[in-house]
Structures are given as structure tokens and as C-alpha cells.
């Protein structure tokens, strides 16, 4: 009897297969893992509830222009609560700086100008960076002010109240679900 291959002992340990490399590793990226269905539902429903509340308040006082920037803020605080962009300091102060930049640029440039809106967004980005309150949706607040020209006497208090309400709803939502990450990571 001839043996072409060396006999394998039955006691040899089996090695685990090596993890499979993606065919195109540069496409695979480093995106975070998909959230669990319960966590995703909780974040999305909390953000939607907060936005519906803000829409109801805006409809009552006939001021619906807050929705675009606050929708982006709600997405940040509810879906990425640990990011510096989502912290209360950045949300509240960032939007107020965006409002200040929007009204300042609108005072110098023509209302409704896309050029002025872009400038206001850039100024907001600079101000939030200098103030250590990064919050990209605040740039949208500046754009809304330049393009829509809301009255500052009613818009700024409404903006302040809406951002505080958004932060408080994110705080409450993070306490409702046990496994949810705690919001905020820091207040100030």
C-alpha cells in the first residue's frame, strides 16, 4: 500500500478560517455598524416627535422657518448624541451665533441673495469654530434668515426656545430607553 501524502493525525487542532477580505477594500469603508432595530426606532421616533412638537408651535405662531435647521439638529442629538456637534452648548449657542451672523450679513447685503446666504453660512462656521461650538445646522439658520428675513424680535426668542426644547427632549429620550446612550456627554 503506497501513501502519496503523509498521514494526518486525528488529534491535530483545526485552525479557524481567516476572515475574508473584501474584494475592493477601499470601497468597504469604515462606516459604523448599523444600529439595532430598537435603537434606530427609538432615535427616529424621538426626533420625529420633537420636530412635530416644534412644527405645532411654529404653526400656532405662524413661524415655520425653523424646521430645516432644527431637523438637522434633531438628527444629530438623537442619532449621534456623543458627537461634539450634538452637545447642548453647540446646539443652542451655535444656532444663536448663526442667527447673529444671518442678521449681520442681511443688514449689509440684500435679503434673499444666494451670495449673501452663502456668506452668512461661512461667517457662522467661522464663529462657531472660534467659540468652540461646532454645529453645522447653525449654518442653515443663517441661510434661512438671509433668504426669508424673519423679524428678529420674534424669531430669535423662538429659536432659543426651540433649541432648548430640542436639547431637553433629547435628554428625556435618552433616559427613557435603558440601553440608549446618555445625552448629553457634557452640558457646557
Per-residue pLDDT of the chain (188 residues; tens, 9 = 90+): 555 555 555 555 566 666 565 566 566 667 667 778 887 787 788 888 888 887 887 777 777 667 788 889 998 998 889 999 999 999 999 999 999 999 999 999 877 889 999 999 999 999 999 999 999 999 999 999 999 988 899 889 989 999 999 999 999 888 887 777 888 988 88
SS3 readout for the chain? CCCCCCCCCCCCCCCCCCCCCCCCHHHHCCCCCCCCHHHHHHHHHHHHHHHHHHHHHHHHCCCHHHHHHHHHHHHHHHHCCCCHHHCHHHHHHHHHHHHHHHHHHHHHCCCCCHHHHHHHHHHHHHHHHHCCCCCCHHHHHHHHHHHHCCCHHHHHHHHHHHHHHHHHHHHHHHHHCCCCCCCCCCCC
Q: Give the CB-side neighbour count of residue 102, counting CA atoms within 13 A.
A: 29
Give the predicted TM-score (pTM) of the model: 0.77
Q: For residue 170, which of 35, 32, 54 has the smallest C-alpha distance? A: 54
On whether the CB atoms of residues 133 and 90 are closer than 8 A, the answer is yes
Amino acid at each position: 500500500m503506497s501513501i502519496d501524502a503523509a498521514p494526518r493525525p486525528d488529534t491535530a487542532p483545526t485552525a479557524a478560517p481567516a476572515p475574508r477580505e473584501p474584494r475592493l477594500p477601499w470601497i468597504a469603508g469604515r462606516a459604523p455598524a448599523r444600529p439595532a432595530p430598537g435603537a434606530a426606532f427609538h432615535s427616529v421616533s424621538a426626533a420625529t416627535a420633537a420636530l412635530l412638537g416644534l412644527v405645532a408651535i411654529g404653526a400656532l405662531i405662524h413661524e415655520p422657518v425653523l424646521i430645516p435647521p432644527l431637523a438637522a439638529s434633531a438628527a444629530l442629538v438623537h442619532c449621534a448624541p456623543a458627537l461634539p456637534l450634538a452637545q447642548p452648548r453647540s446646539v443652542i449657542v451655535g444656532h444663536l451665533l448663526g442667527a447673529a451672523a444671518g442678521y449681520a450679513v442681511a443688514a449689509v447685503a440684500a435679503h434673499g441673495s444666494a451670495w449673501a446666504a452663502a456668506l452668512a453660512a461661512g461667517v457662522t462656521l467661522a464663529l462657531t469654530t472660534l467659540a468652540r461650538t461646532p454645529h453645522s445646522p447653525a449654518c442653515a439658520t443663517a441661510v434661512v434668515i438671509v433668504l426669508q428675513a424673519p423679524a428678529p424680535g420674534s424669531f430669535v426668542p423662538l429659536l432659543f426656545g426651540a433649541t432648548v426644547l430640542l436639547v431637553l427632549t433629547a435628554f428625556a429620550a435618552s433616559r427613557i430607553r435603558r440601553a440608549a446612550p446618555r445625552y448629553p456627554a457634557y452640558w457646557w
